Amino acid sequence: MCGIIGIIGTNPVAPLLLKGLERLEYRGYDSAGIATLDNGRIGRRRAEGKLFNLADLIAREPIVGTVGIGHTRWATHGRPTEANAHPHASDRVAVVHNGIIENFRDLRAELVRGGHIFETETDTEVVVHLITEHLNQQMSPREAVAEAVARLEGAFALAIIFAGRHDLMIGARRGSPLAIGYGDGEMYLGSDALALAPFTNRICYLEEGDWVELGQDAATVHDASGAVVTRDIKQTALSGAIIGKGQYRHFMQKEIFEQPAVIGDTLHALVDPLRRRVELPDFPFDLSAAPRLTISACGTSFYAGMVAKYWFEQIARQPVEIDIASEFRYREAPLPEGGINLFISQSGETIDTLAALRYAREQGQKILSIVNVLESAIARESDVVLPTLAGPEIGVASTKAFTTQLTVLACLTIAMARARDAVSAETEAALCTALTEVPACVAEILNHDTAIRKIAHFLAEARDVLYLGRGSTYPIALEGALKLKEISYIHAEGCAAGEMKHGPIALIDETFPVVVCAPSGPLFEKTASNIAEVAARGGSVVLISDKEGIGKMGDYAEHTIELPPIDPFVAPILYAIPVQLLAYHTAVIKGTEVDQPRNLAKSVTVE
């Protein structure tokens, strides 16, 4: 799973490739590399680790050429070493690849029997040898690529350059996204429009099975059968500007603090504050009529969906099923006629979520998605898209995308409740009022940053941390645990408060912090019992609640974080903020790479 870029033009290409790769590091940062044509010969520079290592290498050992390809890697097959870094190359061809060639072992064995010598542990290297083999049989580059691609199983987006051919670059896609960028005397290939935004805003997304021949001024697109086809060229609104950290130390910190503004922007687009009514764009299907709403997503986006299940069921009386996208499609669950499938994704490129969407489409479901990147594959393949207006999220651990997803989901719940006659106009008005108060409440919670940092010192000492929540804050316990483990590397588990006694309670001793998300309200008393159970076993409670809850149970807690009193409806959005800050400060104290934690990637484009 990786980011790829290709540029064919007349300007020195290495700095341009680095610029594009900077914007693709969210897809992986295990290694990076570029290949260019230097007087017709393939030259390469590759480096382990983050992109700055490659930039340093190129500064020490410059590479010339006006045609080139680049890659940033999230290792799947083969360790994250320089030898395994893309581009992979022979003396005739260089290749960058995003995806997984699933039959690479068979192909590799066949090629080795034919005398090919492999230099890497990657799946991608078979593509180089296959194309080289065909070129050696006097095929044209186009024929050689067509023959090679026909042998590949799995998912791929490829960008390929050929020794001696300054006038040609070939791209191909199946399963993984690939976009063409149209410049002025320069043409581009990229995993997404974001990578190409510094160069052009004229973008064409290749469709499944397409491949393309690029020259400096033109692109010829072929479909899977080889026929020349026309694909739409779209203007993207993405900015080419580099996004900075401003006054903040990390992108994650900046993104946490942007939440009052971006939740406000998202609400502004969906709620009429005067009429206290949700106004969604027109839907091509009836929101009131679905026998079931099926939600699929991954990671943090999945937890947003879990919160929404409580909302849809309680407020809209809409039956909901939810599953992580990587499981959903393989369960082959029967989907009811007229069902709506909802997909939630920050990037809109997560391959498991996209595959689940395609499965639902095959089953005749209506496809609704909530995405942050409107140019993404999931957005393009949906019947309706509700955007989160979080702006670019750079930190690998999702924060503002999550709370804006919750904001959109809360609005969708209200719209669906109205369509299903499940709420009165007064209830809708009250829910809208609660929502419009969220940005100010989030800003107020952010004022507790210094106090939360002190509590993070306590968590930073722990080996394991348990998070508890009940009802719609149960998914926030899961999200809090995920945030902590992904950026601080402390093992953490989220648990439904009522389920603790069925297992996790055995872990509790004096060394074991338990973070409890417990807004006062109808479920508080039950969670209060669980807090007492933890305290009775010597566990140290960090209680996140409001004045009333802390008044009742604060004595059982080692630390408390007091949030403003709010309507229980919006509690999950607000309780997300302290768990983000706890994770952030714990990671900073532990000295981890907050924005790019080890082994992770922002967008996971392999299954």
Which residue's CB is nearer to ligand G6P, number 482 or number 557?
482
Taking the complex as a whole, the smallest distance from the CB of residue 554 to ligand G6P amounts, in Å, to 32
Which residue's CB is nearer to ligand G6P, number 179 or number 394?
394
Q: What sign does the CA torsion over 597, 598, 603, 607 have? A: negative
Which residue's CB is nearer to ligand G6P, number 255 or number 428?
255
Binding site for ligand G6P (CB under 6 A): 298-301, 345-347, 350, 353, 396-398, 600, 602-604
DSSP secondary structure string, 44-69?
EEEEESSHHHHHHHHHHS----SEEE
Which residue's CB is nearer to ligand G6P, number 346 or number 580?
346
Taking the complex as a whole, the smallest distance from the CB of residue 314 to ligand G6P amounts, in Å, to 24
Which residue's CB is nearer to ligand G6P, number 125 or number 595?
595
Tell me which residue has tokens 């192909």.
107
H/E run at residue 392: none
Say whether 602 is catalytic.
Answer: yes
By three-state DSSP, how is residue 219 classified? strand
Rounded CA-CA distance 321/452 in Å is 35
Taking the complex as a whole, the smallest distance from the CB of residue 399 to ligand G6P amounts, in Å, to 9
Rounded CA-CA distance 242/197 in Å is 10
CA-based diameter of the chain, in Å? 81
Task: Give me the amino acid identity at 354.
Answer: L
Q: CA distances (Å), 185 to each of 9, 42, 69, 233, 300, in order? A: 6, 22, 17, 16, 42
Q: Are 578 and 563 in contact (CB under 8 A)?
A: yes
Which residue's CB is nearer to ligand G6P, number 294 or number 398?
398
Residue 255 has which token pair? 């993104």
* Strand ranges inside 339-437, DSSP E: 340-345, 366-371, 384-387
Q: Which of 366, 400, 485, 602 is catalytic?
A: 602
Which residue's CB is nearer to ligand G6P, number 85 or number 356?
356
Question: Residue 192 burial (CB < 10 Å; 0-12/13-18/19+)?
Answer: buried
Taking the complex as a whole, the smallest distance from the CB of residue 370 to ligand G6P amounts, in Å, to 9
Say whether 526 is catalytic.
Answer: no
Taking the complex as a whole, the smallest distance from the CB of residue 599 to ligand G6P amounts, in Å, to 10
Q: Please count the other Cβ atoms lying within 10 Å of the Cβ belonging to residue 354.
A: 25
- Helix runs in 316-350, H state only: 325-331
What residues contact 327, with CB distance under 8 A and at least 6 apart?
none
Residue 12 has which token pair? 């020195």
Q: Are 160 and 180 in contact (CB under 8 A)?
A: no
What is residue 567's DSSP assignment? -
Q: Which of 2, 298, 441, 517 is catalytic?
A: 2
Which residue's CB is nearer to ligand G6P, number 236 or number 347?
347
What is residue 574's DSSP assignment? H
H/E run at residue 476: helix 474-488
Taking the complex as a whole, the smallest distance from the CB of residue 353 to ligand G6P amounts, in Å, to 5
Q: CA distances (Å), 246 to each of 198, 243, 258, in order? A: 20, 9, 11
Taking the complex as a whole, the smallest distance from the CB of residue 504 to ligand G6P amounts, in Å, to 23
Taking the complex as a whole, the smallest distance from the CB of residue 255 to ligand G6P amounts, in Å, to 11
**Which positions are catalytic?**
2, 602
